[in-house]
Structure 1
Amino acid sequence: MTTTPTIACLERDSIDAPFRAPATAHRWVEYPHSAPDEVVARLQGADIAIVNKLRLGAAQIAALPALRMVAVSATGADNVDLAACSAQGIVVSNVRGYAVDTVPEHAMTLILALRRRLLDYVADVRAGRWERSENFCFFDHPIADLAGSTLGVVGYGDLGRGVARLCEAFGMRVLRAEQRGAAQVREGYTAFEQVLAEADVLSLNCPLNASTRGLIGAAELARMKPSAILVNTSRGGLVDEAALAAALRVGRIAGAATDVLSSEPPREGNALLVPDIPNLIVTPHVAWASAQAMQRLADQVIDNIDAFLAGAPRNRLA
């Protein structure tokens, strides 16, 4: 590594919080955003790269001989080829635990909005429906309480536990889903297929990897109750989006909310962005983005860089 390491932040505008200066003398270069074909050029000569969602594949990593660390400003690192980094001796560190409050709170907001048909009633009032009502209120959209219903949690890490804790406070029964296809069901968990069949609310809180990609498709949606809702605050690739759109259109399930899509931003469109899909809420990957969480994330990125430069890397993925 050079005497004064160069730190290149490729997606500065993806974090709406200040980064403090690393403790070690350094050269800091930042770009508001970077296109995929700009990654290699902008990282030439850099010792440390800060990335969020930009792809760092094997070919790009091989073209960056000076690179010694990738500081991922997120928990999920499916955009970084970890094997290629390991082979080249590059340390990869992610941020952890920064969103343990904000993501569950967002998931809870989506659950409540769907079960109480919040957006439908707001739209009706704005359209003058209440003013024309013959009664003091109207019941066009059936409302369901959370109390006494069942939450199925797929992925029981910090975020899944956070969603479960909030739902338990609303009087919900919680089922922890075992991994799909597991030979044995761990104590305290329930078989994946049984969770699909019993859940009134299915919350996805697991990482995206080879075993979870396409986890919820047409077959899984067919196992769910017609009255059930699906909430995804993890990764868009967990869900077959076309199958979900079709299921909502025919009432196979009662509703869905997602904070994530398979490609972000969805410049080429997406099956879930068609306006005629009933009882669907899509938010633009902001579940993690409370002011408090973003500052914790920014601080932890620098903590990871400081630890690496001190010779004691932390939060290592590679």
Structure 2
Amino acid sequence: MSKTITTAKVVFLDRSTMLPDVVLRQLSFPHEWVEYEATRAEEVSDRIADAHVVITNKAPVTAKAIASARNLKLVAVAATGTDVVDIAACAARNVLVSNIRDYAVDTVPEHTFALLFALRRSLLAYRDSVRTGRWAESGQFCYFDYPIRNIAGSVLGIIGDGALGRAVADLARAFGMRVLFSSYKGVQGMGPLYTPFEDVLRLSDAITIHAPLTPATRNMIGAPEFALMERRPILINTARGGLVDEIALGEALRSGRISGAGFDVATVEPPSADHPLMQLTGLPNFILTPHVAWASQEAVQSLADQLMDNIEAFRSGTPKNVVTGAH
């Protein structure tokens, strides 16, 4: 963005994807700020037509929208994943794309373990049974309707060795778990720090996914993979919908092939009432949360600060967190 632009127009397409009380600090350069709570796909082109900077979290910035945005210089993604932006179209138009990095290294691992503890100890199943009168009916000080297993001494398989996967491993070791980092599916010989993908499925008491969604990782866990899970593990997915075959997940849960599952993501968000994951929410060993693993107050404020840093850095000519740059 040239410094010769006297007043830059900055358009935030979906402010409601951030917590309402998170502070977006004022940009230091002259600008016009236009903010929408949400933007439908068909509205994007009109709303960014004369924008210099576009901020988006989930609103799609397509090749068509980019082509009609005559002043566009920067698409600042208010998230780590950039699949909502046509990266190739931006590169062709000399438009820089930036994203947010490493802001969720506490919140996502904590959410992962919240799901794992709740499922490993059947917390929600017991809570619900108390609510419906089971304790009063039991006639004694406790009852054992649902399994309770320790975290300590169990094996955690981690699929994804980035910042989040490593942070989860640190927590796991603190709780006395043995950690296995999975090699990439279909890739052999990654070295002694990695365990073959199929062996992780066989040996783990719990499996947690922290991988991006790509053509290579889509449905990386399906019926054949569930069949390998000899220890009936708990499966946690706080990464992306589409990494697990949701139909196969339901079959694995109902058949007892796995002990439980905790998901924070779905292939369609929000999921409709007939979505495969919604059909599982009545099971005592399944927890579905609405894509909020990333959304602690502290993490979202860090995201907001980094978002504004990215815009300021680009304006000053020293862009950071670049996904694709001008050429």
TM-score by length of 1: 0.97
CA contact (8 A) 2:73 2:96 kept: yes
Structure 1 CA distance for aligned equivalents of residues 188 and 120 of structure 2: 34
* Matching residue's letter, 1:293: A
Structure 2 CA distance for aligned equivalents of residues 62 and 163 of structure 1: 41
Structure 1 CA distance for aligned equivalents of residues 49 and 34 of structure 2: 12
CA contact (8 A) 1:248 1:278 kept: no
Q: Secondary structure at the match of 1:257?
A: strand
Aligned to 2:219: 214
Structure 1 CA distance for aligned equivalents of residues 202 and 149 of structure 2: 18
Structure 2 CA distance for aligned equivalents of residues 291 and 146 of structure 1: 27
Unaligned runs of 5+ in 2: none
Q: Secondary structure at the match of 1:317?
A: strand
Aligned to 1:156: 161
Residues 1:291 and 2:294 are matched in the alignment? no
Question: Aligned pair in 2 of structure 1 residues 12, 285: CA closer, same or farther (>3 Å)?
Answer: same
Unaligned runs of 5+ in 1: none
Question: Aligned pair in 2 of structure 1 residues 267, 34: CA closer, same or farther (>3 Å)?
Answer: farther
Structure 2 CA distance for aligned equivalents of residues 88 and 269 of structure 1: 41
Residues 1:182 and 2:178 are matched in the alignment? no
Question: Aligned pair in 2 of structure 1 residues 27, 208: CA closer, same or farther (>3 Å)?
Answer: same
Aligned to 2:260: 255
Aligned to 2:243: 238
CA contact (8 A) 2:23 2:304 kept: yes
* Matching residue's letter, 1:82: I
CA contact (8 A) 2:157 2:200 kept: yes
Q: Per-residue displacement from partner, 1:180-221 (whole Å, max 9, x unpaired)? A: 111422231111111111111100011111211111111111
CA contact (8 A) 1:249 1:278 kept: no
Aligned to 1:301: 307
* Matching residue's letter, 2:189: Q
Structure 1 CA distance for aligned equivalents of residues 99 and 273 of structure 2: 29
Aligned to 1:86: 91
Structure 2 CA distance for aligned equivalents of residues 253 and 161 of structure 1: 24
TM-score by length of 2: 0.94
Residues 1:13 and 2:19 are matched in the alignment? no
Structure 1 CA distance for aligned equivalents of residues 277 and 231 of structure 2: 19
* Matching residue's letter, 1:315: N
Structure 1 CA distance for aligned equivalents of residues 51 and 189 of structure 2: 46
The alpha carbon displacement at 1:284 in A equals: 0.4
Structure 2 CA distance for aligned equivalents of residues 189 and 28 of structure 1: 47
The alpha carbon displacement at 1:8 in A equals: 0.3
Structure 2 CA distance for aligned equivalents of residues 292 and 122 of structure 1: 28
Aligned to 2:48: 43
Structure 2 CA distance for aligned equivalents of residues 33 and 76 of structure 1: 18
Q: Secondary structure at the match of 2:39?
A: coil
Q: Secondary structure at the match of 2:294?
A: coil
Q: Secondary structure at the match of 2:91?
A: helix
* Matching residue's letter, 1:113: A
Q: Per-residue displacement from partner, 1:7-57 (whole Å, max 9, x unpaired)? A: 100110111112001111111000011111111111110011110012222
Give the stretch that moved more between structures: 28-37 or 59-68: 59-68
* Matching residue's letter, 1:281: I
